């Protein structure tokens, strides 16, 4: 981007020494001095104050240094942006999310950055149970899914990379009598906690049991085949629900939520037999260090 005199000028300004600048540039010290003299003659003023002990920028030199550094930053940003633009990708990308999740509550920027870089790709978002999403990923009707690791870790042909983490919460109807005074989950003693059953999720039941054991909660577990049924039951005061902060119910005045001390790790998973270019591009936005072997 810059001519030799400007490059040599930056080296001297950064090292504050002609000798160290020449070492940095792999040239002789006289060559550095000559290029600085050429630049100063061209500009019509001195760039450095030279003493026997050190070299420092003159006030005018500081202005030139800042201008070149600013230009260098803009140049570097332009190069990075250009390199980030991949080959032209179009078509559609089908992504599965858990029913009840709100797009605005997902702790990832991947959707926004992907749409900016690949405007010709249509994002199709579908919401299902975890088990339904896994089956659809295997049969090719979904390209990517977001789910906990345990839902896909032992399934052949499925790979995954870390997407984000989200706090686990306990959801309660805002009109439930307990909601009027509850401060912590200890105030929920004896209440049923509602969670997805094995047909909807491989790991939710085990996760809830583990949380109850670790926190010594006094909950009784009841399971349902999907999160829609759970929300209806919570609104009818039939218990509270274990979910995560991605849930759109957190935005509704019909519910109150209470943070647990646990996080849910969410992965982005794909089928190695049906992975296409749009999915690869999306995965690169999910994980900047993404590679096909990231698991």
Give the tens place of pLDDT for each residue, 280-289. Answer: 889 989 986 5
Q: Give the per-residue pLDDT at 82.
A: 66
Q: Which residues pair with 259 in a beta bridge?
A: 169
Average pLDDT over residues 202-218: 88
Where does CATH 1.10.10.10 sit in the chain? 4-84
Residue 292 has a pLDDT of 44
Which pLDDT score is estimated for 90?
83
CATH class of 4-84: mainly alpha
The pLDDT value recorded for residue 84 is: 61
Which range (43-47, 87-91, 98-102, 251-255) has the least confidence? 87-91
User: Residue 293 has what pLDDT?
Assistant: 44
Average pLDDT over residues 260-272: 93
Average of per-residue pLDDT values in the chain: 89
Lowest mean pLDDT among 75-84, 93-102, 140-149: 75-84
- Percent of the chain, pLDDT > 70? 94
Judged by average pLDDT, the poorest of 51-55, 219-223, 259-263, 272-276 is 51-55
The CATH number of domain 91-164+267-286 is 3.40.190.10: yes
Instruction: Write down the CATH superfamily of domain 168-262.
Output: Periplasmic binding protein-like II (3.40.190.10)
Predicted local distance difference test score (pLDDT) of residue 133? 96
What pLDDT does residue 74 have? Answer: 83
How confident is the model over 239-253, as pLDDT tens digits?
A: 999 999 999 999 999
Q: Is the pLDDT of residue 167 over 90?
A: yes
Block residue for tokens 């990379």: 161
> Where residue 190 falls among pLDDT bands split at 50, 70, 90?
confident
* pLDDT recorded at residue 75: 82
Q: Is the separation of the CB atoms in 17 and 54 below 8 Å?
A: yes
Q: In angstroms, rounded to a whole number, what is the distance separating the alpha carbons of residues 70 and 223?
A: 59
Residue ranges, comma separated, of all CATH 3.40.190.10 domains in the chain are: 91-164+267-286, 168-262
């Amino acid at each position: 981007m810059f001519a030799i005199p400007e490059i040599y000028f930056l080296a001297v300004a950064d090292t504050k020494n002609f000798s160290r600048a020449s070492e940095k540039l792999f040239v002789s010290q006289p060559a550095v001095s000559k290029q600085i003299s050429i630049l100063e003659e061209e500009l019509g003023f001195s760039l450095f104050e030279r003493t026997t002990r050190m070299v420092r920028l003159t006030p005018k030199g500081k202005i030139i240094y800042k201008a070149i550094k600013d230009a260098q930053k803009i140049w570097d940003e332009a190069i990075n942006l250009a390199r980030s633009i991949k080959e032209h990708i179009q078509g559609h990308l089908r992504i599965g999310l858990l029913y009840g999740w709100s797009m605005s509550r997902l702790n990832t920027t991947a959707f926004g950055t992907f749409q900016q870089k690949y405007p010709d790709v249509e994002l199709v978002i579908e919401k299902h149970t975890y088990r339904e999403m896994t089956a659809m990923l295997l049969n090719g009707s979904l390209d990517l899914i977001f789910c906990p690791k345990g839902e896909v870790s032992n399934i052949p042909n499925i790979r995954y990379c870390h997407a984000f983490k989200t706090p686990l919460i306990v959801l309660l109807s805002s009109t439930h009598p307990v909601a009027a005074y509850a401060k912590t989950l200890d105030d929920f003693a004896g209440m049923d906690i509602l969670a997805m059953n094995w047909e909807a999720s491989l790991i939710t039941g085990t996760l809830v049991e583990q949380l109850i054991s670790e926190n010594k909660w006094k909950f009784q577990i009841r399971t349902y085949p999907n999160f829609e049924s759970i929300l209806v039951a919570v609104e009818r005061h039939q218990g509270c629900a274990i979910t995560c902060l991605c849930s759109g119910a957190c935005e509704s005045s019909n519910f109150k939520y209470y943070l647990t001390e646990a996080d849910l790790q969410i992965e982005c998973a794909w089928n190695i037999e049906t992975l296409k270019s749009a999915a690869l591009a999306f995965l690169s936005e999910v994980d900047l260090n993404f590679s096909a072997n990231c698991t």
